[in-house]
Structure 1
Amino acid sequence: MKTALTRTKLLASSLVVIAILGGATYYLVDRHVVTGLVSGPDYSEEQLNEGAVDDLHSLTLEQAKKRLNYLVMDARDSINQIAMIESMRLEISPVADTAASSGEKKQLRYDEPFVPFPAAELKTALEALAQKMPAFEQLFFDNQSGLKLDVEPIREVLKRGALPDQREEERYAVQTVYFRDGTQQHFAAVGVDNAEEQDTSKVELKVNKPVERVSVTLTYPSYPGVKKIVLDAKHPKVTGDDGEVYQLTALADDRASLLLATPKNKSYVIEGLSADGKTLYSGGNSSNSSPTAEQKANLRAYYDELLRMQDNFSRYTTSAALQEHLEQFVKGLPDSAGALTNVHATYQFEDTPASIVIYLLDPAQPQTLALEMHNSVPAQARYIAYDNATQKSGFIDNHGQWVVKPRFERIEYSPMPGVFNMQVGRTPQKDGWSQLLFKYFAFVPGGHTLKELPFEIIEKPINADLMIVERETNGPYGVYDVKKQQVVVPMKYVNVEVVGDLFIGRPGLKTYGGDSSYGVWNLAGKELLAPRFSNIEVIGDFLYSTSDDGRQKDIYTLQLQKLNPPGSTAIGAFIQGQPQLLQDRKSGKYRFINPEGKSVPISLPYDEVEPFSNGMAVVKKGEHYGALDLTGKLRVPLKYTRLNPFQKNLASAEMDGFRGLVLIDKNNTLVKKLGSYTTYSLPTNSNDATYSIWDAKNENRVNVFNADGEQVDSYERE
């Protein structure tokens, strides 16, 4: 049964609102006459019978007349509220900004801006991802297997083409299964069809044969295009060619109110921007539907008919006749379903926006993409499988046949192909729990016999055959050859590192403590540098050793060719292709060498020389500092009482006549006077310098500057 139109509820309750725009305060005021208002008599409570049309027939004629009064008043109220909202307009008058004048600064949060990513761009991104061969994991059972598709990288791309917080709606349909024995079958022949399964990234197969790859059809929604609308105080309304309307009705108190008439089949994203274009954090929104032009016309016709029925009430002999007449009238009204949806929405932000951006998105359309996904587990002679009947694990071969019966509680793949981590028991704990015990196993070549391996932890694989292993927690370490099934570097070293063919570490049984020195061995366990160094460090393509007393630093290539001559020690390192600084231990003289160990023709008649940093080397003669470039030219004269390593193109310095730090460039141009400092950080050959400088006007405030002299932070010093 078709009944009278539901009363329209609108949010506006006042015609005067305060707004804040771009640091100044404004009023949004309605200064013109509201058009479209209707008037009529007011009714007392005794003259009204609140309710709808549905139950008119159950009332007496006297009560039906009171119900008619209520329907008239209700329709009139709705018409007037609509008229008041539609007559509002944005007018701006500046007034004093008391918050700004008091010096208060509001700490704001910001959202990541919405970046439109329509269908064509999304497809291109997905196709690029498909070229990287997405993976799946295959889990084996006694007579079945499961495929778990790794779809997270795909979903990350799909999120870019979806509305904020929109749930993923993609579906994955396996088409063809390619087995590792060279056969292939359509999924319909070997797959378990589960139409009720919500997560389509998990697939079941009726066989447990190892799979090499699968072809998959990805179906996902995306919007073909997007339209951007910007509203602000100067441009509060935009009207489209098809009658759509985007109107700003209020901009005040950290919120924005909008009247929107948008196509029904489109979606939109609304953001509030600060004056400098940042996306303000949104604290939520509320919205109410507003009537279309057709609905307003029907509402007015309905109201006029109610008035006529009041005037001719004596014609109705029963309340049922009254209801029937009203229902027939409503049925005869024109269809009010239009192409647009009218909405009145209010959005709350961290601060009052300077502008509102609306992204109108075309209706989402289903898209498809063909993918080829590969098994993440490399091809092996055997695979872990789970037996549903015994609830134990064992191993199957490439044909799905058991080669190790399912008798283990748990088996896991390790980071090293061909090595398995297997549960071998439990250790009871005092609190009633038990600790699971695991050991590593590998198969003896030429058969299906498992061999327990003599270590508890795999630190990391080195290559296809070798891996760094740890005998037990906290040490010691060595190298194990899986192919030979033997330890090739004994497990008697700690703090180890493998670089190329070099095994660096120090003899010891525990990682803590420092009662031994570092040395270098090859991956067959042969000693290359005796363990007599306090530290060995690899930087780029060079190895640096430091003597036990810390006074001597030598440079080696990764082939262990020593580059610094006898009697000299290295300072700094080869970085960014810059020469290496050396100092003669006896004479104290400096020189630079290149990566071949040959001297660089740079004259260094200075008392102190520092390594190159970003193409400049600080030097000192007497009490003053300067800096050389890579050709040896003194680009910064010896005039500073302190000169720090260059960061990017600038260096901080101290000089006579100014208290504190200044920034100079490589041509000795004074770029900025920073002032008195508390601390500063200067990583060599870095761009990450930070300078903490006392504020010249506030003795308790510290301002922080970066390598470019830009202020990046400020705080009160306690």
Structure 2
Amino acid sequence: MNRIKLLASTLTIVTVIGGSTYYLMDWRAENTPLSGENYSAEELNEGGDADIGELSLSEAQKRINYLILDVRDTVNLNHRFQNLKLEITSVENAKTEEQKELRYDPLFVPLPTEEVKQALAQLKSSLTFQQLYFDNQSGIRLNVEPLQEVFKRAATPEQYVQEHYQVKTLYWHDGTQLPFNDVGTPITSTEDRSQDSTEVELKLNKPLEHVDLAVTYQGYPGFKKIVLDKDHSKVTFGGGEYYQLTALGGSEASLTLATPKGTTYVIQGMSHDGKALYNNGSNSNSVISPTQVANLRTYYAELLRIRRNFTEFKTPRALQEHLTMFTKNLSPIPETLAYSSASYRFDATPASVVIYVLQAPQKQTVELQMANAESTQERYIAFDNKTDKSGFIDKNGLWVVAPRFERIDYTEVPGVYRMVVGYINDGDRDGWRQSITKYFTFASGTNTLKQLPFDGIEQQINDSMIVVQQHTNGPYGVYDLKKQQIVVPMQYVNPEVVGTLFIARPGTKTYRIDSNYGIWSLSGKELLAPRYGSISASDGFIYTTSTDELQRDVYDLSLNKINPPGFTALGKFANDQPLLVQNRKSHKYAFIDTQGKALAISLPYDEVQSFSNGMAVIKKGELYGAIDLAGKVRVPPTYKTLHSFQKNLAAAEIEGGEGMELTDEGRVVESKLDYGLVLIDKDNVVVKKLGRLRSYAIGSDSNEASYQVWDEEEENRVNVFDADGKQTGSYVPNEN
């Protein structure tokens, strides 16, 4: 039989008599379950108390029976709920829960009103707008993305964020200023956005310097943070406010809450390492408050009294009038707390649950200033509404270049414009047109446009020079903006500029490889003839490789060769570490400094690798070890494989068969055991056993390594570790 929960949200237990308030029952005095007589289905008439007067007297008595049971069930259910104790549910397969690849939510970081103001103040210098110019008008587009990021942080993760922008005052470069209402033009739409929009129109086309605007948003003034876990399952505050963890396990957490009305809360399940576990869904329900429970107890007592003295009611109508009068005399007590229950499902069982209780949001208004994104210029791009063409106006809004171009865009190079000068029909597609684009600049000291002799800009070198491309897939060169001439002919492909050096190879098509690399100055003078298979730059040095890849030389930026005659460079200078070189004839290794001087490091080894984080891997016979910057052997050559050091650790494979065994101190001794891949420190101490290696990815002189090893207990599972030995993932490879 369905039960309807009556009066739980409407009845209170006070009555007003002669202006004084009297409590009929203190809810704190009654906190025990209700008990009483039960009734059979034949003795019940389901329904509320509003229509009792329409029943027969016998059916009205059955209705009273139903109401007694209904109120009793409601009170007792609430009693059980309010007295829940924390239940810890064991996870059947804890290993699976720990090793599966978990998902995480962003950590919620509260941003109350005062901190919002501080965050907005930090954005002050970066707030800009874009002004678009027309023949007799202009438009403003506010760049509000930085502001929206702040307002998003000032809201809850699921809250719809909506702020309002209102331009107040406009300031021009000539020192004049006007209220927006004097020059603002309403934008025709279903909603008048002229006073509350990120886009507005003005009756003037004069370039602005900055604008003042008011931004209105909803923000909360403060918050409190509550942390619950299995050892601290309940937190209480004054006035009956409480937060209780009632169940934890099976990737779920359940809570009961009594929060101040008007507040909102954010709940996150936290992992042991402080990450917010992914929320797979939640449900919440309102719970009867203590005051409401007391109301129901009072109502229940009256129902029992009516049941015992039912004969005093001669008609059902009299019974209904009595119940109506009883409830009418009850005046509501404003509830200060909201009671609820909530259950959350996560990717794993949380170690703790964090609750942020945010105070009631309030409407906030901040005054901000935005600057014109375009700095003061002699001319501004403008669009003519009559001809649908673009040209240039001066700072007074007057045309200085008539609107005759299809489109004009600023480029990243100041003073250089990209213009669409016309269209050609695309013969392969009916109705399609291809734009003809050219680059222009103004002749110095004039309003005369000059077309530039290239079709593409690759990079800006400095205030004067840019790398340019003759045409698509064509050769590159260097253009001097001050001299307004090509200084490095457009005869090269795959260019790279390092300092004052132009590295490239001669060619006319970027997709052809029919020449070698060389180096030229930015004035076009050949510095290194194009005879190299490759040339690269790194940390202030130039590295060249011969076409047969047998010789590698290193130069400084003045193109002084650093490696000694007869030696080829192996690796690079990095982080103030020496460079490894090898004699082409004797194959002996040496380390040199940045001046080319050989260091006093003895290298009687079959193989030597470059330094990585202060350690160099060496090979003696078939086994590997490592030396430090002084040449001291820190890791004896006892490993089957030793990878380059990542910060302070390196991955090593222990030799099988006649392999190694680890002592309690982490040292390696002779043994018949094979532990696979381990991480060792610079003193040859094994700090972590990883397992049997599947694959790896290691960066030189970095800390970006990734090791994939087979799980020792679960067949076909692969665990992923980073350079510090921390597990970052786990997966089962796809057999297909």
Short-chain TM bin: 0.7 to 0.9
* Cα displacement (A) at 1:470: 2.4
Q: AA paired with 2:589?
A: Y
Distance 1:52 1:426 in 2: 83
Q: Secondary structure at the match of 2:375?
A: coil
Q: Secondary structure at the match of 1:260?
A: strand
CA contact (8 A) 2:49 2:323 kept: no
CA contact (8 A) 1:43 1:69 kept: no
Q: AA paired with 2:575?
A: Q
Distance 1:621 1:376 in 2: 63
Distance 1:37 1:176 in 2: 72
* Cα displacement (A) at 1:578: 0.8
Q: Secondary structure at the match of 1:474?
A: coil
* Cα displacement (A) at 1:336: 3.0
Aligned 1:38-187 pairs, distance under 5 A: 44=42, 48=45, 50=47, 53=50, 61-62=54-55, 70=63, 73-74=66-67, 77-78=70-71, 80-88=73-81, 89-91=83-85, 98-99=92-93, 108-130=102-124, 132-187=125-180
Q: AA paired with 1:384?
A: I
1:364 aligned to 2:361? yes
Change (3 A) 1:227 1:438: same
Larger mean Cα displacement after TM superposition, 442-451 or 377-386: 442-451
Specify which of 428, 431, 454 is matched with residue 430 of structure 1.
428
Distance 2:426 2:228 in 1: 68
Aligned 1:185-264 pairs, distance under 5 A: 185-192=178-185, 196-197=192-193, 200-233=197-230, 235-251=232-248, 254-264=251-261
CA contact (8 A) 2:184 2:201 kept: yes
Distance 2:282 2:710 in 1: 44
Aligned 1:442-521 pairs, distance under 5 A: 442-445=440-443, 446-521=445-520
Change (3 A) 1:101 1:346: closer
Long gaps (5+) in structure 2: 10-30, 661-673
* Cα displacement (A) at 1:539: 0.5
Change (3 A) 1:174 1:491: same
Q: AA paired with 1:441?
A: Y
Distance 1:709 1:60 in 2: 77
1:283 aligned to 2:266? no
Q: Which residue is 2:413 aligned to?
A: 416
Q: Secondary structure at the match of 2:104?
A: coil
Q: Which residue is 2:697 aligned to?
A: 681
Q: Which residue is 1:22 aligned to?
A: none
Specify which of 33, 36, 41 is matched with residue 35 of structure 1.
33
* Cα displacement (A) at 1:496: 1.1
Q: Secondary structure at the match of 1:207?
A: coil
Q: Deviations over 1:343-368 (max 9, x none)?
A: 23333434454543322112234445
* Cα displacement (A) at 1:262: 1.5
Q: Which residue is 1:584 aligned to?
A: 583
* Cα displacement (A) at 1:170: 3.2
CA contact (8 A) 1:493 1:506 kept: yes
Q: Which residue is 2:524 aligned to?
A: 525
Q: Which residue is 2:648 aligned to?
A: 649
* Cα displacement (A) at 1:501: 1.8
Distance 1:620 1:105 in 2: 36
Q: Which residue is 1:27 aligned to?
A: none
Q: Which residue is 2:24 aligned to?
A: none
Change (3 A) 1:584 1:72: same
Distance 1:443 1:93 in 2: 75
Q: AA paired with 1:526?
A: K
CA contact (8 A) 1:378 1:417 kept: no
CA contact (8 A) 1:543 1:556 kept: yes
CA contact (8 A) 1:581 1:592 kept: yes
1:441 aligned to 2:439? yes
Distance 2:352 2:242 in 1: 17
Distance 1:269 1:597 in 2: 62
Specify which of 334, 341, 346 is matched with residue 349 of structure 1.
346
Distance 1:556 1:102 in 2: 55
Q: Secondary structure at the match of 1:490?
A: strand
Change (3 A) 1:316 1:249: farther
Q: AA paired with 2:140?
A: L
- Quick one: percent identity of the two aligned structures? 50
CA contact (8 A) 1:664 1:670 kept: yes
* Cα displacement (A) at 1:688: 2.5
Change (3 A) 1:661 1:86: closer
Distance 1:345 1:675 in 2: 42
Q: Deviations over 1:480-509 (max 9, x none)?
A: 334444333222221111222222111112
* Cα displacement (A) at 1:152: 1.5
- Root mean square deviation of aligned Cα: 3.8
Q: Which residue is 2:28 aligned to?
A: none
CA contact (8 A) 1:34 1:84 kept: no
Q: Deviations over 1:211-264 (max 9, x none)?
A: 222344444443332222234455444332122232344556654443322111
Q: Secondary structure at the match of 1:242?
A: helix
* Cα displacement (A) at 1:101: 9.5
* Cα displacement (A) at 1:537: 0.3
Change (3 A) 1:74 1:209: farther
Q: Which residue is 2:570 aligned to?
A: 571
CA contact (8 A) 2:382 2:391 kept: yes
CA contact (8 A) 1:49 1:66 kept: no
Distance 1:75 1:436 in 2: 83
Distance 2:613 2:46 in 1: 86
Larger mean Cα displacement after TM superposition, 614-623 or 517-526: 614-623
Q: Deviations over 1:355-403 (max 9, x none)?
A: 4332211223444544332222233322222334444433221111223
Q: Secondary structure at the match of 2:647?
A: coil
Change (3 A) 1:278 1:588: closer
* Cα displacement (A) at 1:463: 2.5
Q: Secondary structure at the match of 1:600?
A: coil
1:333 aligned to 2:327? no
* Cα displacement (A) at 1:82: 3.5
Change (3 A) 1:34 1:500: same
